[in-house]
Structure 1
Amino acid sequence: METPFEIFLSAPPGLEPLLQQEVAEAGFDAPELAPGGVVTRGGWPEVWRANLCLRGAGRVLVRFAEFRAFHLAQLDKRARKLDWGAVLPKGAACRVDVTCRNSKIYHDRAARARIAGAIEAFGGTVSPEGALRVMARIEDDLVTLSLDTSGELLHRRGWKEAVGKAPLRETLAALFLRASGYDGSEPVVDPMCGSGTFVIEAAQWAAGMAPGRARDFAFEDLPSFRAGEFATLKAETDVPGREAGLREAGLLFHGSDRDDGAIRGATANAERAGVADLCRFRRAAISDLERPEGTPGLVMVNPPYGARIGDRKLLFGLYGSLGAVLKERFAGWRLGMVTSDGGLAKATGLDLRAGPPVAFGGLTVKLYQAEL
């Protein structure tokens, strides 16, 4: 593969500009918006760093080949000419996914068989359970081949074992935190914390912890991988003693929930995530929510909504109580609230502004923000 090559970073549609902002801040080369994500360029070290360090990316794909094909025989011939050994290890077990759109090649299964044949001719195996994933997009007769370098989706940070009802993905939580103006320098409070996703993500961000520090990646099985270089990269992302500095400065992250099981789970998750000393979880109803001492910060919450959890009619009182408590006790703070129900959001009585619609768990949600 020629260097630099194209790297695609996936994001939920509607939140691509937030990921572009993060990618630019992280020093990647000229990130550009694309449907469903952000495109940048680089070599394998940039691929490793993107997987390890980007909080909002769902996957990191390497686009390793592009060519025209107007019929299946041409696809077969050109796929067999590729240097698969530069991308895949010999004997690799691969899954192949194909999408066809507005092209003379319109049968995705037939196209998949041709690409699978090229991989098998190289010495690989193709299986729906393959650990590595090759993706082909055939659009307007242009074939683009990509390799998923992440493996499991990147929201699986490696620390969440206890999960509440309808949990928010960590990548989505990070993007909503960013959309709410969070930059790691202020306290965060989640009064309906569930498994603690917002609180733990904010604490790790503030502590400078790479989100992928506790997990494995698909790129570790590729011929391009250099274990020593990656170990050095991981070491460079660690900031020794930063948690202690945050504690001394009084920067803490607070979660509460009325469910005992949620609090136990969130506490255990924070321990596994390495931020237990920065997080404070307690069982409390909304009416018992307390404002932390110190400077104002961000209240970040993903409350239940009728299509997700609970009876919608009973939730109006919950949203009303949340709005009243925030107005009474959190003057000077900001609110970021994720919900699919504009009527429930309005029940808070707060002057809210809504962000773009975002797909989440089969629903469409929005981030509502307010100055308190």
Structure 2
Amino acid sequence: MDTPDTFEIFLVCPPGLEDLLCAEAQEKGFAEAQAQPGGVTVQGGWPEVWRANLELRGAGRVLARIGGFMAFHLAQLDKRCRKFPFGDVLRADVPVKVQVTCKASKIYHAGAAQQRVETALRENHGITVDAEAALVLKVRIHDNAVQFSLDTSGEALHKRGHKEAVGKAPMRENMAALMLRSCGYTPGEPVVDPMCGSGTFLIEAAEIAAGLKPGRSRSFAFEDLASFDAGVWEEMRSGGAVAEPAARFYGSDRDAGAIRMSTANAERAGVGAWCHFACHGAGEVQPPEGPPGLVIVNPPYGGRIGNKKLLYPLYGTLGETLKARFRGWRVGLVTSEPPLARATGLPWKPQGPAIAHGGMKIWLWQTEVLR
């Protein structure tokens, strides 16, 4: 039995953002993209796995579902694992970590199942198993169906590889990209973030506008697989032109340390020439000259920063400032506290779906164009 040329690829994202990631995958030409709980499935082969890691801004991880079989007891799992063509994908010289989950199956003991899989890998396939290995083989046993997936990303994809400094409560890059998409961001419009922190929203927007690939600066777990083709990968990674954005990106924060961070992060990402950062409070923000665009902001909120009662005046001031000065602009605001969003007095659209973030629920609030 050979592993197929085309298989299912699962793109992981935070719950609540699946439809946005699905739209991105469709836009990027991935076949049969379908939103599922916790992510999106597409169909493809190894080049699509590599491209998903390199190009998709909204994915948190890319799992290659390399195959499976039915197993109703541990002896059957053991026997079929010994015959499964792991050697087509896994290299003997690269250690692998095995993770097993069991649900609604006759095999219900994940530890015992993990032991059988690990023994088969060692004894029949000559593969080193190490609990500390960077490469992860995920084994899901659900309704007696055993499914093998490889985490082809390694480090989570929000770690773009060029951002060293993060603030107290950072917005993950993949979430920021999907929120920009939700707000209808287009590369030709300016973006303003009046509480920019480490600059994530602006850097993502500038990279999108410039046509920069999000995974260009980092390595991936798939580079250690038997299926990896270094020549094809290098061609894929180096392809595509970088365009100077028509618009500019403006961040401000009252914390001078945040401004130093965001400036350095933008430089490392290669978008420093197009991003402008200033140190002042949100109440002092002014629209830049030129056409209107998008204001997007991730202010402090109770669950992640502290006493939320102290935040109502801050949100109120932000709302008054935007209503007075940013007519013609759209606003997106992230918070875990709906009352704080309402405290801005901004004309919000109906509340959208909850998004899972760091063990809490957050929402992206959006306005139409301010009048």
Q: Could you say which TM-score interval applies, normalised by the shorter chain?
A: over 0.9
Which amino acid counterpart does residue 52 of structure 1 have in structure 2? Answer: L
Which amino acid counterpart does residue 253 of structure 2 have in structure 1? Answer: D
Which amino acid counterpart does residue 192 of structure 2 have in structure 1? Answer: V
Q: Aligned-pair distance for 1:183?
A: 2.9
Which of 184, 187, 190 is the equivalent residue of 1:187? 190
Match of 2:178 in 1: 175
Which amino acid counterpart does residue 215 of structure 1 have in structure 2? Answer: R
1:18-72 residue CA offsets vs partner (Å, 9 max, x unmatched): 0000000001111012221111111111111000000000111110112111101
Which amino acid counterpart does residue 144 of structure 1 have in structure 2? Answer: Q
Match of 2:364 in 1: 367
Match of 2:302 in 1: 306
Matching of residues 350-365 of structure 1 within 5 Å: 350-353=346-349, 354-365=351-362
Match of 1:230 in 2: 233
Match of 2:89 in 1: 87
Which of 149, 154, 157 is the equivalent residue of 1:151? 154
Q: Aligned-pair distance for 1:294?
A: 1.0
1:230-251 residue CA offsets vs partner (Å, 9 max, x unmatched): 11111213x14x12xx2xx4x1
Match of 1:319 in 2: 315
Q: Aligned-pair distance for 1:333?
A: 0.6
SS in 1 for 2:217: coil
Match of 1:347 in 2: 343
Q: d(CA) in 2 for partners of 1:218 and 1:307?
A: 34
Match of 1:203 in 2: 206
Which amino acid counterpart does residue 357 of structure 1 have in structure 2? Answer: A
Match of 2:140 in 1: 137
Figure out how many residues of one structure are paired with residues of the other and give that number.
Answer: 365
Which of 253, 257, 262 is the equivalent residue of 2:258? 262
Q: d(CA) in 2 for partners of 1:234 and 1:93?
A: 26
Q: d(CA) in 2 for partners of 1:183 and 1:213?
A: 21
Q: Aligned-pair distance for 1:185?
A: 2.3
Match of 2:40 in 1: 38
TM-score (norm 1): 0.96
1:80-128 residue CA offsets vs partner (Å, 9 max, x unmatched): 1011111101132111111111111111111111111121121112122
Which amino acid counterpart does residue 312 of structure 2 have in structure 1? Answer: F
Which amino acid counterpart does residue 360 of structure 2 have in structure 1? Answer: L
Which amino acid counterpart does residue 109 of structure 1 have in structure 2? Answer: G
Q: d(CA) in 2 for partners of 1:146 and 1:197?
A: 30
SS in 2 for 1:125: coil
Which amino acid counterpart does residue 358 of structure 1 have in structure 2? Answer: I
Which amino acid counterpart does residue 355 of structure 1 have in structure 2? Answer: G
Does 2:275 align with 1:273? no
Match of 2:332 in 1: 336
1:139-182 residue CA offsets vs partner (Å, 9 max, x unmatched): 11111110011000000001111110110110011111111111
Q: d(CA) in 2 for partners of 1:183 and 1:29?
A: 24
Matching of residues 15-54 of structure 1 within 5 Å: 15-54=17-56
Q: d(CA) in 1 for partners of 2:186 and 2:141?
A: 39
Q: Aligned-pair distance for 1:278?
A: 0.8
Q: CA RMSD in A?
A: 0.9
Consecutive unaligned residues of structure 1, counting only runs of 5 or more, are none
Does 2:284 align with 1:282? no
Q: Aligned-pair distance for 1:310?
A: 3.3
SS in 2 for 1:48: helix
TM-score (norm 2): 0.97
| Mean CA deviation greater in 222-231 or 204-213 | 222-231
Q: Aligned-pair distance for 1:134?
A: 0.1
SS in 2 for 1:308: helix
Give the conservation status (yes or no) of the 8 Å contact 2:92–2:128: no
Q: Aligned-pair distance for 1:194?
A: 0.3
Which amino acid counterpart does residue 159 of structure 2 have in structure 1? Answer: R
Which amino acid counterpart does residue 78 of structure 2 have in structure 1? Answer: D
Q: d(CA) in 2 for partners of 1:291 and 1:29?
A: 41
Q: Aligned-pair distance for 1:3?
A: 1.2
Q: d(CA) in 2 for partners of 1:56 and 1:317?
A: 33
Consecutive unaligned residues of structure 2, counting only runs of 5 or more, are none
Q: d(CA) in 2 for partners of 1:274 and 1:128?
A: 37
Q: d(CA) in 2 for partners of 1:13 and 1:359?
A: 6
Which of 104, 115, 118 is the equivalent residue of 1:116? 118
Q: d(CA) in 1 for partners of 2:227 and 2:188?
A: 37
Q: d(CA) in 2 for partners of 1:23 and 1:325?
A: 37
